Structure 1
């Protein structure tokens, strides 16, 4: 292949592909200092979902999910700041980034995602809500934070008829199951 042909191919590719976030790419999303708390409920963050970004990038969504799974808070911030990742994107069995972080027991990442508009009322393909998946790892602080959020149904049953308390008990987290039962789960 000639040098001219190779340059033309590379130029055409660069014009058709969306920029991908990377470690050296500067965010074009302005920093904000907006208060995410609802009036009348100072301890509960706003849980309204943000719309899908206009410049959504499937690669950014995948990177976001991977960072959430690993609990890499700074990486999650960087990816979200690019404005290319959907905070409510889905993967595998329909889990969102906030569900993925909750399953890993990464409370700090869960808090960040909620503050950035993650919808905590969503369920995955198996009917699990964020509380169900948070109970898998059994991280007490993550579960307590999830319980404090509006839009989380503590009595929800997944497709197998299990509540979050059932999931916690099944994973050997007896004290967590007792906590959930005291908060109203059946």
Structure 2
């Protein structure tokens, strides 16, 4: 995935006085890229501008926190949640943040996601699969066992 390019949006504001009137599509794209790449400081910088929507949607309607969870960026997931990311959202195929974290296979990320009250561990995506099903199917047996020990089907 190539780095997004910056562009002049024509909106006022500066790093010291961010324009919080509206979010910006390019800034949202930059946020998604920084989450994918695990660039914690860049994610902080983007969020500090006030011009990114922490729950913006890209691709299959994935949010930045879903992207970070998929790539095992636990520190980014924690930051996004602390900044208001909605961990209860699902993408257009019904996957929630736990589905994405299990697909990524990073245990620390999965454990953090499990600690969030907003996550339904038994949620099924549009194909009827739980996060534990995804973990099993991808060979992440330890994650599958962890989810089953937490009452997941």
Fold conserved (TM > 0.5)?
yes
| C-alpha contact 1:27 1:81 (8 A) present in aligned 2 | no
Q: What SS class does the counterpart of residue 152 from structure 2 fall into? A: coil
Question: How many Å separate the matches in 2 of 1:104 and 1:82?
Answer: 24
Gaps of 5+ in 1: 1-13, 30-52
1:118-137 residue pairs with structure 2 within 5 A?
118-137=85-104
Q: Which digits, 9 at most, give the CA deviation of each residue in 1:57-108, with x for residues without a partner?
A: 1110000000000000000000000000000000010000000000000000
Gaps of 5+ in 2: 1-7
Call closer, same or farther: CA 1:159–1:81 in 2, change over 3 Å: same
1:17 aligns with 2:6: no
Q: How many residues align?
A: 145
Question: How many Å separate the matches in 1 of 2:16 and 2:53?
Answer: 15
Q: Which of 155, 174, 177 is the matching residue for 2:144? A: 177
- Following TM superposition, the consecutive aligned residue runs of length 4 or more in structure 1 with deviations greater than 3 angstroms are none
Larger radius of gyration: 1
Deviation of 1:123 (Å): 0.1
TM-score (structure 1 length as normaliser): 0.75
Q: Which of 55, 65, 69 is the matching residue for 2:36? A: 69
